[in-house]
Amino acid sequence: MRKTIIAGNWKMNHTGEEGAAVLQSLAARVTAKEGMEVVVAPVFPYLASAVQIAAGSSVTISAQNMHWKDTGAYTGEVSPAMLVDIGVTHVIIGHSERREYFNETDETVNLKVKAALSHKLTPIVCCGESLEQRERGEMKVWIEGQIQQAFADVAAEDMTQVVIAYEPIWAIGTGRTATHEQAQEVCAIIRHKIGTLYDPSLADGISILYGGSVKGGNIAALTQCADIDGALVGGASLQADDFMDIIDHAVIK
């Protein structure tokens, strides 16, 4: 059975004190539920302290990015080995903002996915189309291409460790949300593509999340869909009350 995963991507927000207050509240309020996982992704400088705050709770900590090499002359980068060393368990890979602003490509996404898996980190692999691509009827081909390239040369046994997040670029931080029918359509495309690359039964075990202006008011409709297993949440994860509203209303299949 695949898990319902609610992951909060804090992006470039919260100082140490601010983030600690939110995490302390979440750690105290998130209760263990069978079939559900809650993940929070703070910024790099506070990951170690976040791991300490979340220790013993039902909250796990993710990084927002990483390099694919363990060491080297890569100024400003953080390696998967370093994330594991401080107790991080997840890493977001290929977010559209990384692709748009920091030259992330399908090739580097693939390298990072393989590096994360080799270090037993859970990669939350992002994909999504622009409004222009959707309006031109290119969404399906684009999404399938991103999925195929992200998991090139990834062994089937490693795919059980993977989480995929569908984030339509036109719905990230815009207040515009894909309808649950639109989100379900794409998540079904993703699951079918994984099934063709590997095996339908393997694909059925992978958690696929939706991201894009997710709130407590729409999470239930989203997670009731057959192929949506949770959410990658941006702005609504920055305050404990807002994030708890999403966690509390998510449907566990």
Instruction: Please state the residue numbers annotated as binding site for substrate.
Output: 9-11, 173, 213, 234-235
Backbone torsions φ then ψ of 113, nearest 5 degrees: -60, -50
User: 212 is written with which tokens?
Assistant: 């894009």
Whether 2 contacts 37, CB under 8 Å: no
* 8 A C-beta contact, residue 96 and residue 65: no
Tokens, residue 38: 């809650």
* Distance separating alpha carbons of residues 148 and 35, to the nearest angstrom: 28
- Return binding residues: 9-11, 173, 213, 234-235
CA atoms within a 13 Å half-sphere pointing along the CA-CB vector of 164 = 31
Question: Which residue, among 84, 21, 80, 13, has the nearest Cα to 50 in the 3D structure?
Answer: 21
Secondary structure (DSSP) of 171-233 = GSSSS----HHHHHHHHHHHHHHHHHHS-HHHHHTSEEEE-SS--TTTHHHHHTSTT--EEEE
Q: What separation in angstroms does the CA of 158 have from each of 113, 151, 213?
A: 10, 10, 30
Residue type, 209: L
Q: Are 4 and 207 in contact (CB under 8 A)?
A: yes
Q: Which residues are identified as catalytic?
A: 95, 167
